[in-house]
Structure 1
Amino acid sequence: MFSVSFIRGSEVNLTCSNKTWNDMIFVIWNITLQTKKNCQIGYSNGKSVDFCKDGKSLRNTSSALSYLHISKFSDSDEGLYKCHSVYKGGIDHYSHLSCVVFPVPPSTSAWLDRKDNKMVAVCRAERGKPAASITWSLTGNISSKETSSNGFFTVESRLELLEGMDTENLSCVIRHQNSTEKIMSFALKHEKGQAFAIRLHI
């Protein structure tokens, strides 16, 4: 078994064997998706079978090599793909642990909160994939929490603002995996007029 990863929306072709249709007796793809759906696609006894009914198809190249085709790989295609093929003179078994690796930028927010008569700066990166990382420009009493739902991650970091702490240049930096980087800056002010800046790297 080996793991492969694809970009969301990309065209994907999975190969089961290097044998041509002339040598193949049958080929079956057993697919277990993360949505808990189990289905089969294959070719047996001269007939094609498709119990997935979700757009996947069994195709062959110009040189008559068989492959499983997924036109636009998406979240619903994540799962385990096992191939079993029998050809004249042998048997092939292949397993593909398929996972989508594509960044989903999180929704970001930041605010000032009060806890036990103390000011707390809060920075949140919500429903990103993979999980974002949050760092602060100042050290102090920092607590972080990460939760997940349906494969998406929410990260929240809280920094307690101690009496006398220089918060004029306080910044929260959210970094998230992506092919490009964009920096967004804005500022919040609490009642003492101190600025709280957030920089987002996505």
Structure 2
Amino acid sequence: FCLSFSFCQMGILLILQAVSKIAGSSINLNCSNVSVVDLVSVIWKISPRTGNHCQLAYRRDLNKTNRTNCSERMDWKYSPETDSALQIRQVTLTDEGCYSCETLTSDGSFNQTYTLTVLVPPVVTLTCDSKGTAVCKAAAGKPAAQVSWDPNGDPRTELENHTNGTVTVLSIYSPRETSITCLVSHPAWNTSQSKECPSGNRTHLFSLFNLHS
């Protein structure tokens, strides 16, 4: 979709970079750092994976801005004549895609392009029944969560892919041990999360919350 590299060709400097952000948070995408005196125009071209393309543009000679098909959540971070950064508020999965900033100056052109990936932390629950079976569910995460058990064993894992790109992971485990722990890791979390089925108590539903929210 967009690669991560930089090169210079025909006097135009192009830089491509991959970025990721957790759904619901905000992100600022910086463009070139040029002086107001040298700036001629700046254009943000947004190409989402799904939905319509949009554009934000500014021309210094006319002191004029223009926006086409852009969400209200996307706008200049400040004022384009002083800062060409783009701000996206409350990022959603529909914002994934390519964001290209084209800056024209008296000295040449600069193109900064980002590939935005949106992370969705899963909702995790652990069910422990009286028969010794534990079910660890990491629902609607993007990408799919990684689920493991302590002590280690051979659980049955089921995946459900949703139309919005999220994945639900279901791990079913029936160990001989009376006390087991479900371990869940995801790129949206700083550390792995865990929840234990205590011995002698397999009839409760436990909810696992992200400790770093």
TM-score w.r.t. length of structure 1:
0.70
Deviation at 1:110, TM superposition (A): 2.9
Q: Deviations over 1:153-174 (max 9, x none)?
A: 211123356xxxx3433x2403
RMSD: 3.7
1:70 to 88, 92, 101: 88
Matches within 5 A, 1:41-56: 41-44=56-59, 46=62, 47-51=64-68, 52-56=70-74
- Contact 2:126/2:195 (CA < 8 Å) preserved in 1? no
Deviation at 1:139, TM superposition (A): 5.0
Deviation at 1:16, TM superposition (A): 1.9
Where does residue 168 of structure 1 map in the other structure? Answer: 178
Q: Percentage identity across aligned positions?
A: 27
**Could you tell me how far apart the structure 2 residues matched to 1:21 and 1:58 are?**
16
- Contact 2:183/2:192 (CA < 8 Å) preserved in 1? no
Where does residue 123 of structure 2 map in the other structure? Answer: 106
Amino acid at match of 1:90: G
- Contact 2:21/2:117 (CA < 8 Å) preserved in 1? yes
Where does residue 152 of structure 1 map in the other structure? Answer: 166
The answer to whether residue 53 in structure 2 is matched with residue 38 in structure 1 is yes
**Could you tell me how far apart the structure 2 residues matched to 1:69 and 1:199 are?**
34
- Relative to its length, the structure with more strand (as a share) is 1
- Contact 2:183/2:193 (CA < 8 Å) preserved in 1? no
- Contact 2:128/2:202 (CA < 8 Å) preserved in 1? no
Query: Compared with structure 1, are the counterparts of its residues 74 and 21 closer, same or farther at alpha carbon in structure 2 (3 Å cutoff)?
Result: farther
Aligned length: 188
Q: Deviations over 1:14-53 (max 9, x none)?
A: 2221223332222111101233331111113622111114
Where does residue 145 of structure 2 map in the other structure? Answer: 132
Amino acid at match of 1:50: R
Deviation at 1:93, TM superposition (A): 1.1
- Contact 2:135/2:171 (CA < 8 Å) preserved in 1? yes
Query: Compared with structure 1, are the counterparts of its residues 55 and 138 closer, same or farther at alpha carbon in structure 2 (3 Å cutoff)?
Result: closer
TM-score w.r.t. length of structure 2:
0.67
- Contact 2:126/2:134 (CA < 8 Å) preserved in 1? no
Unaligned runs of 5+ in 1: none
Unaligned runs of 5+ in 2: 1-15
